[in-house]
Amino acid sequence: MNQPVLITGATSGLGLETAKVLAGQGVPLILAGRDAKRSTAAVDSIRAHAPDAEIELLELELASLDSVAAAVAELHRREVAPLRAIVCNAGLQIVDQVRSSADGYEMTFAVNHLGHFALVTGCADLLAAGSRVVVVSSDVHQGPRKSMGFPAPQWRDPRALATPDTDGAAGRDGRVAYATSKLANVYFTYELARRWAERGITATAFDPGLMPQTGLSRGYPAPARIGFRFLAPILIRVMPIARTVTRSAADLARLAVAPELAETTGKYFTGADEVPSAPESYDEDRAAALWQVSAELVEAARRVPPAERR
């Protein structure tokens, strides 16, 4: 497979639509997902759009660092280098309860940040000059003023984010955890851009906007999910931050492969536009600390059985 794009969370929503855009351009794809049936269905859906699409599947559960390590090993076994891009798209939002990953870390942090960190850094030698990493973030990292009242992120020591004190209000609020994970995405992107600049590997962060048609609200109570689905067409027309999945997918695909963005790195995009991220997202000390702690957690997973990581 010649210079494929690896996409996480490509079985539905933004990831699937982005895969369709790229397949239509003749870009080989590796779809990383945890559910074999949904992955196979995604391939069928993509090939209905692009019959000649070159697609491989990769088993990946971002909530398990062992699964991420196995996926990285499988990519090395397949000798897929160099990857054209890694699109870190998968994400979740939990609002009803505090949940832990297979490794004992707060689930939102584990999936939205740590699993992707492990995947990208594990694939370092599968990337070459000209390769890109695109991380899907969100404007909720900017706080209520930019995100229609969504609570602001609450940044703390990265180890506290991985294993929060659930007795506090912040530790119980899944929306805060989500917003904070999206800030972590931006820190990771900017630190990656700095660390890998000499290798010619670029990193950009992407805000797809509010996409009422996707499944990100699946963690909300049923009445909210139903209302969100029925209001989707109206929201897309009247809310500046609301966008269709098709439109956001085209913008995400552009970040992954467009020639005019080959040298763009360390930048934040909302849709097709390069815009400033939150002022606190430019804190290089925080970004470096997040990288260091994330690397330590991933290394610990290599050496310590899951039951002993809690």
**247-273 per-position pLDDT tens digit:** 999 999 999 999 999 999 999 999 999
- 91 to each of 41, 62, 108, 111, 223, how far by Cα in Å? 19, 9, 8, 6, 22
How far is residue 75's CA from residue 230's CA, in Å, rounded to a whole number? 41
Beta bridge partners of 29: 5, 55
Residue 243: Cβ within 10 Å count: 23
Token couple for 174: 């899944």
Burial category of 173 from C-beta neighbours within 10 Å (exposed 0-12, middle 13-18, buried 19 and up)? middle
Once rounded to an integer, what is the mean pLDDT over residues 275-296?
Answer: 98
Please, what CATH class does the domain formed by 5-300 belong to?
alpha beta
Per-residue pLDDT tens digits for 196-216:
999 999 999 999 987 555 555
The structural domains of the chain, with segments of one domain joined by +, span 5-300
Token couple for 141: 């990292």
Once rounded to an integer, what is the mean pLDDT over residues 116-145?
Answer: 95
- 162 to each of 140, 141, 151, how far by Cα in Å? 19, 17, 19
| Residue (of 69, 2, 89, 85) closest to 262 by Cα position | 85
What was the pLDDT predicted at 126? 98
pTM passes above 0.85: yes
pLDDT above 90 for 171: no
In the three-class reduction of DSSP (H, G, I as helix; E, B as strand; rest coil), residue 184 is classed as helix
pLDDT mean across residues, the chain: 89
The residues annotated with a catalytic role in the active site are 178
Beta bridge partners of 267: 204
Per-residue pLDDT tens digits for 184-198:
999 999 999 999 999
pLDDT above 80 for 127: yes
How far is residue 130's CA from residue 136's CA, in Å, rounded to a whole number? 19
pLDDT above 60 for 132: yes
